Amino acid sequence: MSNKGLIYIVDDEQDICALIAAELNSFGFSTRTFHSAQQILTAIKDSTPDICVVDLGLPDMDGTALVRQLSDTTDAGILILSGRGGLPDRILGLELGADDYLTKPFEPRELTARIHSLLRRLNKHSEPVSQEAPTVARFANWQFNSATLGLTSPDGSREDLSTAEGRLLMTLLQAPQQIVSRERLLGDQDIAYDRSIDSRMSRLRKKLGDDPKKPKLIKTVYGSGYMLAADVHWQHEQHKA
C-alpha cells in the first residue's frame, strides 16, 4: 500500500469512481472503489481507510445515513462528494459527521487538494508523535486518550469519540480555562462547518454529561467562542503488562 494513504470511494457511477481513483493513484494514494453503501460497510470491517469519499445518491441507502454510520463507527475522515450543492445540504452533511463537502461537477485536482488538506487536519501520515509526549488528559474526573479517541467517564465506562468530536475536545484540552475562538475551532474549514460547530459541541457535551442547555464543563462565551471550565492534567498512557 502507498504510504500516502488509503482512500475508499463510494459512488453509484462507475465512471466517477474510475476518474477519482485514477487521479488519486497518480498522486500516490491507494484506492478502493464501491458502488453501494453495503459494499463499503462490508469492506470497512476488514480494513479502515484514511478517508472515505462518499456520494449521497446511493442505490441502497441514503448517503447521509451512511455518513452518520461511518462517523459513528470509524475514525476515517469523510469527504462528501455530491450534486446537492445547497448550503442546507452542506450543513446537514457536516453536522452528521463529514469533515469536508465538495459539490459536483468538480475538478479532480481540487478533490486531491482537499484530501491532502483533510489528512493534514486529521494528523494522518505526519511525523510520529514523540514517545515522550503525554497522550492522556484527565479533567473533571474524566479521562481522554488523544491517541485512541477513547473517553472514560468518572464511573469507568468508556466510549469512542468521532474524529470531529475528538478534534474539538483536544483543542479545548490544549487551552483549559481559556476562551477558544470559533475561528480556532474552525481551522481551515469553510463557513458550512462553522454553522455545524454548535451541533457537534452539543453532542460532545452530552457525551460528557454536560447539560447542553446549562453547560458547566464546556461553557459558551457568547460572541467569542467556548471555554473548558476545568483544570487539565496530562500523563502518559499506562500499558498493562
| Residue-number span of the structural domain to which 111 is assigned | 6-121
pTM for this model (two decimals):
0.60
* Residue 83 and residue 52 share a domain: yes
Residue 131: inside a domain: no
* Residue 143 and residue 76 share a domain: no
* Residue 10 and residue 116 share a domain: yes
Q: What are the C-alpha distances in Å from 238 to residues 131, 160, 193? A: 12, 18, 35
Cα–Cα distance for residue pair 217/200, rounded to 1 Å: 15
Residue 165: inside a domain: yes
Contact 45, 70 (CB under 8 A): no
Which CATH number belongs to the domain containing residue 70 in this structure? 3.40.50.2300
* Residue 151 and residue 212 share a domain: yes
Cα–Cα distance for residue pair 221/120, rounded to 1 Å: 28
The SS3 assignment for 195 reads helix
* pLDDT tens digits in sequence order for the chain, 241 residues long: 455 789 999 999 999 999 999 999 988 999 999 999 999 999 999 998 999 999 999 999 998 999 989 988 888 999 999 988 788 888 888 888 888 899 998 899 899 988 988 888 776 444 444 445 678 999 999 999 988 889 999 999 998 888 778 888 988 998 889 888 887 887 655 544 556 677 788 889 999 999 878 889 999 988 888 999 999 998 877 654 4
Which CATH number belongs to the domain containing residue 188 in this structure? 1.10.10.10
Residue 14: inside a domain: yes
Residue 74: inside a domain: yes
Number of domains in the chain: 2
The contacts of residue 174 (CB under 8 Å, 6+ apart) are: none
* Residue 215 and residue 182 share a domain: yes
Residue 13: inside a domain: yes
* Residue 46 and residue 106 share a domain: yes
Residue 127: inside a domain: no
Tell me the three cell numbers of residue 195: 454553522
Which runs of consecutive H residues, i.e. helices, occur in the chain? 14-26, 37-44, 63-73, 87-95, 108-121, 163-173, 182-186, 191-207
* Residue 202 and residue 98 share a domain: no
